[in-house]
Amino acid sequence: MRKKINLMCIVMMLFAFGARADEGMWLPYSINGQNLADMQRLGCKLTAEQIFSFNQPSLKDAIVQFGGGCTGELISAEGLLLTNHHCGLGQVQAHSSVEHDYLKDGFWARSKDQELPNEGLTVFFLNYIEDVTDAILKGVTDKMSESDRDAKIAENGKRLTTEKKGTRDVRVEIVPFYHGNQYILFVYDVYKDVRLVACPPWGIGKFGADTDNWTWPRHKGDFCMFRVYTAPDGSPAEYSKKNVPMKSKHFLPISLKGVQPGDYAMVLGYPGSTDRYSTSGSVKNVIELEDPAIVACRTTKLEQYRKHMDADPAVFIQYASKQASVSNYWKYSIGQIKQLKRNKVMEKRLEQEQAFRNWANADPARKAKYAGIFDEMDKYWAHQSKYTKALIYHREAGWNGSEAVYFSLRFRQLNNIIESKTASQDKIIERASGMKKAVQDFFKDYNKALDRDVTIAMLNLFYKDVDHSQLPVNLRKVGDKSGGDFTAYVNKAFDKSIFVDENKMNAWLANPKSLAKDPIFMLMYDILQSYWDLSEQAEKVDCSRADRLYMEGLKEMQKDRNFYPDANFTMRLTYGSVQDYQPADGVTYSYYTTLDGVMAKYKPGDWEFDVPQELIKLWEKKDYGRYADKNGDLVVNFITTNDITGGNSGSPVIDAQGNLIGLAFDGNWEAMSGDIAFENEVQRTICMDARYLLFIIDKMANAQNLMQELKIVQ
């Protein structure tokens, strides 16, 4: 029987509380009992219904999935939306040019008619949830193979999704929890008219860039503002000049009070992925294979990006968002390796696994149920270790290394139609015409010289680092003949291919023919086919059953443990407090930073540490207005003990009364192992102070039209 989730009671089914309050990415519709009591002990004044309700406006109605990878929140009655600068960077970059460099100078719409539309940008509002575990597992038995089990679950999921969606224009997702031991259905309203309203200059929103990324102390105004528009009747709609600003069901007032050590802090958002219940084999694979491969590939790509971006302002604009995307998880992977080792995460996993063995072997029924699961896991990871590095290189240095190669992936289906001769030439041309916008968008932000150098460097690295038996066939042949130097090969390919020349591409769209002789297209196919072959080999050994049983057993063995589910890009609530921390012996980091710290880092002309002259003038005069703290300083960033990860970028930091006090944007270096193991003593969420947000809008940008929309509380 399907069970509608009881907003106040289901936590007893989902979790047993027992760990520190700052650890845990909680399902917000399931808070009650001990969870709520602990939140109140920390200072929370809100009820469960005020946080999450389908019966009345609540905090959850102000929270959105933003752009498929971040979080945002409504901060006005007219759909004004706040998120991180790095979450909106792609849209800002798309509107920028050398003549109108919104990246460098910022953007401020002085009226709603100046707000800029963004094709393809969406926000999701959660409007319904249901535990559908029984329905999804109907007909599933312990005797099934994993492939048969997956097929049955997919069949049940497809049927249930169709039933729940009906004729409504909504997004329905059925998401597994606890390694497939539970399934929950989510229904979202999708809004497709989201317009850029404001963005601070690069020297504020991106201050510190790569050097400061994933570290504390920080000094960044990491925010961007959009507005959600609806049809005149309030329903979601595609962009139209007739659309109107959304009438917010709930929005967050912004507090001027500031933060002090011990203050309650709550984050609502959409964390992307954690692996807190993984085994030692998984951790070892990350440390020894996955992360080193990512670091090597992205280091090589970033070297080429910087060479071209530093030499040409136009290229800097084209590649600012791309470089930030590559760089973010390049540095993350470096930090994760270091901190997984430093925090001895693999050793702790091994200890937990031995405790599990002892517990299982102490009871005949348990021994029989869990027999062999670690053998399955060991076999799986021994097998995976043969393929991990090669698969990552295929992705990072192969079909995702060169932009042209990656772009050519989009033409596979059309080329299949051409070669199969299943459609007339007129139909083929019609389909090709539908790709003109994608082609235009690609070449707008494409630099052939940069991509040429990236492609050469990535293929050279690919050939050098990967076992030759696991290389794509033709790539290996070229490398063998050239001694591993792909310069001539890439130069020739770039001279001939339609995927690096807009004129050639447009000529092809007008008269599409087989791409079998296009060198970039064939390089893509060579890499992709090799990737498929390796993936098929890697997937011959599976441990899904063992992982599922281990998760089930852990919950049984540790009945008092805080078994919140791993992050999976569903709405979560975390709670903690504002606190400093000690990253090393004899070192203490304060819980906040100020504008004085920004100026201490200031380097005129430096792409990472330059700042706008308007900000310097305000700092020199100490003209902070009502946004200064009691000491007359302007607080820029602060840290809390909240538990977040990627996807939480842009999440609101909310005080005990439900007001916005900050904007979450990063984690700290000492806890880069946090996606796999939460570090109680040092894990921190880095937040932009709400007073800095208001200061930039009011004092620096003088955007009084926006200030008038906001509800500001003391």
Report pLDDT digits (tens) over 201-213: 999 999 999 999 9
Instruction: Name the active-site residue from 58, 76, 86, 189.
Output: 86
Same domain flag for 444 and 505: yes
Local confidence band at 34 (pLDDT 50, 70, 90 cut-offs): confident
- Can you tell me the distance from the alpha carbon of 230 to that of 235, in angstroms, rounded to the nearest whole number? 6
Q: What is the pLDDT of residue 32?
A: 63
User: In the predicted model, is pLDDT for residue 2 greater than 60?
Assistant: no
Same domain flag for 212 and 335: no
In a domain, 56, yes or no: yes
- Can you tell me the distance from the alpha carbon of 568 to that of 554, in angstroms, rounded to the nearest whole number? 20
In a domain, 688, yes or no: yes
Same domain flag for 470 and 608: no
- Can you tell me the distance from the alpha carbon of 414 to that of 215, in angstroms, rounded to the nearest whole number? 45
pLDDT average, residue stretch 48-66: 96
Instruction: Name the active-site residue from 131, 189, 222, 689.
Output: 222
Same domain flag for 294 and 197: no
Share the mean pLDDT of the chain.
Answer: 94
User: In the predicted model, is pLDDT for residue 579 greater than 70?
Assistant: yes
pTM of the model: 0.92
Report pLDDT digits (tens) over 597-606: 999 999 999 9
- Tokens representing 292? 């080193």
Q: What is the pLDDT of residue 666?
A: 96
pLDDT average, residue stretch 366-377: 96
Same domain flag for 301 and 229: no
Instruction: Name the active-site residue from 53, 402, 649, 673.
Output: 649
Q: What is the pLDDT of residue 274?
A: 97
- Can you tell me the distance from the alpha carbon of 655 to that of 639, in angstroms, rounded to the nearest whole number? 13
Percentage above 90 pLDDT, the chain: 93
In a domain, 166, yes or no: yes
Same domain flag for 85 and 192: yes
In a domain, 411, yes or no: yes
Tell me phi and psi for residue 204, to 5 degrees.
-110, -55
Nearest to 447 by CA among 404, 398, 477: 404
Q: What is the pLDDT of residue 13?
A: 32
User: In the predicted model, is pLDDT for residue 682 greater than 80?
Assistant: yes
In a domain, 416, yes or no: yes
Structural domain for 186, as ranges: 3-15+43-253
Report pLDDT digits (tens) over 639-663: 999 999 999 999 999 999 999 999 9
| Total number of domains in the chain | 3
- Can you tell me the distance from the alpha carbon of 78 to that of 70, in angstroms, rounded to the nearest whole number? 21
- Can you tell me the distance from the alpha carbon of 150 to that of 542, in angstroms, rounded to the nearest whole number? 12
Local confidence band at 561 (pLDDT 50, 70, 90 cut-offs): confident
Same domain flag for 402 and 305: yes
User: In the predicted model, is pLDDT for residue 15 greater than 70?
Assistant: no
pLDDT average, residue stretch 527-547: 96
User: In the predicted model, is pLDDT for residue 9 greater than 50?
Assistant: no
Q: Is 308 a catalytic residue?
A: no
pLDDT average, residue stretch 533-553: 96
Local structure of residue 469 (DSSP, 8 states): G
Report pLDDT digits (tens) over 146-195: 999 999 999 999 999 999 999 999 999 999 999 999 999 999 999 999 99
Report pLDDT digits (tens) over 213-244: 999 999 999 999 999 999 999 999 999 999 99
Q: Is 649 a catalytic residue?
A: yes
User: In the predicted model, is pLDDT for residue 18 greater than 50?
Assistant: no
Crossing angle (nearest 10°) for helices 412-420 and 425-433 = 170
Nearest to 598 by CA among 581, 619, 627, 614: 619
pLDDT average, residue stretch 62-90: 97
Same domain flag for 194 and 60: yes
Give the residue carrying structure tokens 């069901």.
Answer: 249
Local confidence band at 20 (pLDDT 50, 70, 90 cut-offs): very low
- Could you tell me if 464 and 297 are in contact, meaning their C-beta atoms sit under 8 angstroms apart? no
CA angle 135, 136, 142 (to 5 degrees): 110
Q: What is the CATH number of the domain that holds 635?
A: 2.40.10
Q: Count CB neighbours of 402 within 10 A.
A: 29
User: In the predicted model, is pLDDT for residue 479 greater than 50?
Assistant: yes
Q: Is 222 a catalytic residue?
A: yes
Same domain flag for 600 and 647: yes
- Could you tell me if 93 and 325 are in contact, meaning their C-beta atoms sit under 8 angstroms apart? no
In a domain, 33, yes or no: no
User: In the predicted model, is pLDDT for residue 5 greater than 60?
Assistant: no
Same domain flag for 618 and 474: no
Same domain flag for 217 and 298: no
In a domain, 147, yes or no: yes
Same domain flag for 77 and 148: yes
End-to-end CA distance of the chain: 49
In a domain, 564, yes or no: no
